[in-house]
Amino acid sequence: MADNFVEFAKGQMGAVERLLKGLPGISGYIDKDMRRDADKRVREAIAASLAQSQAALTGVQNALLKGGGLAMMDEVNDVAVNMQTLTDRIKTASYGYAGLFDPVRIKEQQLDALVRFDRAMAQEVGAINTSIAALAQAVKERTDVASAIDQLGAKVQELNVLFSKRGEAIQAPGLLDDPGYAPPPADLPTTTE
């Protein structure tokens, strides 16, 4: 996902930017600046997806309320508040890549690990949407609503943890040297033992 935004940014480069990119020592900085812009755009896209998820959850809350599920409204509201907090965290997070004079340097391999975090976060938003759909179905059928709420809450918490780990990695890039810290590359299957 971030790679698409980086390629788009490269395509939008003007003649002066291309000239500067050709200068020794400047190329890496411009690439990192484009990655920084891509990071911002990815986070904006993830936050927008979460906002859509919240709108869907509001619809489920209304259906639950109309169906007599007042007793479960507190639990659903807690999930909605956690989603809003997460959306706000993602929207307002600092940019993810060090500039030319920043004291913290992030290497290309570490940048790739941050992109893997971005992809994993986008996948988690998809899992949240699936959980919201399952909750909507449970409310409609009036079966196992509490379990569906719990599953949705767990998915929101997983994304929250993933985003926190990503933020920690930006502050301490050395964490990304541990192969198990970041999500695996998209082309590698995950194994659970």
For the record, the structure tokens of 75 come out as: 């639990």
User: Quick one: pLDDT at residue 100?
Assistant: 44
pLDDT band at 11 (very low <50, low <70, confident <90, very high): low
Stated as kind and residue range, the H or E segment containing 163 is helix 145-171
Break the chain into its structural domains and give their ranges. 44-177
User: Quick one: pLDDT at residue 193?
Assistant: 42
> Tokens 């971005």 label which residue?
118
- 40 within 8 A of 95, measured Cβ to Cβ: yes
pLDDT band at 20 (very low <50, low <70, confident <90, very high): very low
For the record, the structure tokens of 88 come out as: 């706000």
% of the chain at pLDDT higher than 90 = 39
Is the pLDDT confidence value at 82 over 60? yes
Distance CA 29, CA 39 (A): 15
Q: Compare 48 and 33 and report the one with higher pLDDT.
A: 48
Calculated CA dihedral for residues 172, 177, 178, 183, nearest 10 degrees: 90
What mean pLDDT value characterizes the chain? 78
User: Quick one: pLDDT at residue 115?
Assistant: 78
Got the DSSP string for 50-115? HHHHHHHHHHHHHHHHHTT-GGGHHHHHHHHHHHHHHHHHHHHPPPSS--TT-SS---HHHHHHHH
Beta-carbon contacts of residue 115 (< 8 Å; ≥ 6 apart): 1, 2, 3
% of the chain at pLDDT higher than 70 = 69
Distance CA 32, CA 69 (A): 50
Burial of 1 (0-12, 13-18, 19+ CB in 10 A): middle
What's the pTM value of the predicted model, to 2 decimals?
Answer: 0.74
